[in-house]
């Protein structure tokens, strides 16, 4: 039996470098309809189901008794594109986000969007059909922060993201030296190396081979702040399983990425030593697309 073709990281980067650095480009032409908003709302609801203490308004999700804490919450956004998930999901829930993206045009656009929010410069899309560039929550007020890193998932060490790629800067909140001394054994490392409450992986894991994905997820597990209350969240397209119910995957030669079936993902999760805490299908997307599943792991 011939060996199945596998993703090639350089081919994937080359493909995405030809796409526009906006929501439409990173979402394959679905950036100007309802999909981005539906996707973001589904993601935020999924995260709040897992971590209701993140809810900031009175609701059924908010715990009756919240434990007071002065610890800032932290998220890692991998394969982050132009910062869509950071802006529309993570900054609504977490204090500090580290954004990692390999494609230069995408990560530079993410930096530009973040800087405009920091400087309170109105961002008006030149194209009336382009995605609206919303201000990033908490950046102008310096209550929240985003750190930008250009690097691949293959080389990313989530426990030490600053050493895993090119650091392009930080916007918003800046920790004081006393805060770093209190929270870190090595204050010179900065707070971006202090672990994460959530590691968010969306529409990017198809660019990893199965062995690389297993290793990446194992590295992510080590970077979770709390092994019982922090999560790796995977949100990805899924194809159908094989006729016998086993794992299956399909290589898209255009962007050199794998679409895995539900059983294929679960096989990788087991090999990485991870447990599924919760799983859910994303509803409300346009017909004809792959089924998108969300998995919470630790």
Residues making up the annotated binding site for S-adenosyl-L-methionine are 202
Annotated binding site: 202
Best CA proximity match to 84, nearest among 19, 131, 45? 131
Tokens for 92?
């609504």
Residue position matching structure tokens 């589904």: 42
Pairing of strands 198-202, 74-78: parallel
How far are the Cα atoms of 28, 117, 233 from residue 47, in angstroms, in the given order?
24, 24, 8
Burial of 48 (0-12, 13-18, 19+ CB in 10 A): middle
Tokens for 213?
């994905």
Q: In this structure, are residues 162 and 186 in contact, taking their beta carbons and an 8 Å threshold?
A: no
Tokens for 185?
């054994």
């Amino acid at each position: 039996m011939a060996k199945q073709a596998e993703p090639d990281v350089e081919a994937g980067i080359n493909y995405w470098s030809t796409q526009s650095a906006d929501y439409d480009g990173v979402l394959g032409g679905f950036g100007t309809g309802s999909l981005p908003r539906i996707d973001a709302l589904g993601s935020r609801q999924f995260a709040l189901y897992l971590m209701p203490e993140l809810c900031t308004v009175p609701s059924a999700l908010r715990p009756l008794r919240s434990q007071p804490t002065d610890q800032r919450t932290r998220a890692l956004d991998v394969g982050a594109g132009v910062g869509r998930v950071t802006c529309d999901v993570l900054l609504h829930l977490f204090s500090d986000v580290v954004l990692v993206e390999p494609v230069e045009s995408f990560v530079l656009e993410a930096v530009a969007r973040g800087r405009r929010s920091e400087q309170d410069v109105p961002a008006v899309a030149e194209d009336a059909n382009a995605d609206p560039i919303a201000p990033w929550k908490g950046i102008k007020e310096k209550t929240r922060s985003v750190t930008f890193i250009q690097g691949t998932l293959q080389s990313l060490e989530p426990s030490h993201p600053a050493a895993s790629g090119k650091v392009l800067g930080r916007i918003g909140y800046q920790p004081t030296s006393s805060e770093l001394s209190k929270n870190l054994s090595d204050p010179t490392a900065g707070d971006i190396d202090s672990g994460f409450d959530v590691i968010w992986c969306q529409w990017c894991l198809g660019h990893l081979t199965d062995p690389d994905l297993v290793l990446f997820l194992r590295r992510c597990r080590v970077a979770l702040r709390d092994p019982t209350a922090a999560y790796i969240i995977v949100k990805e397209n899924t194809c159908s399983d094989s006729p016998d119910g086993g794992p299956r995957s399909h290589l898209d030669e255009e962007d050199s990425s794998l679409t895995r079936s539900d059983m294929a993902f679960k096989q990788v999760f087991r090999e990485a030593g991870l447990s599924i805490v919760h799983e859910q299908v994303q509803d409300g997307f346009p017909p004809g697309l792959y089924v998108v599943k969300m998995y919470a792991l630790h």
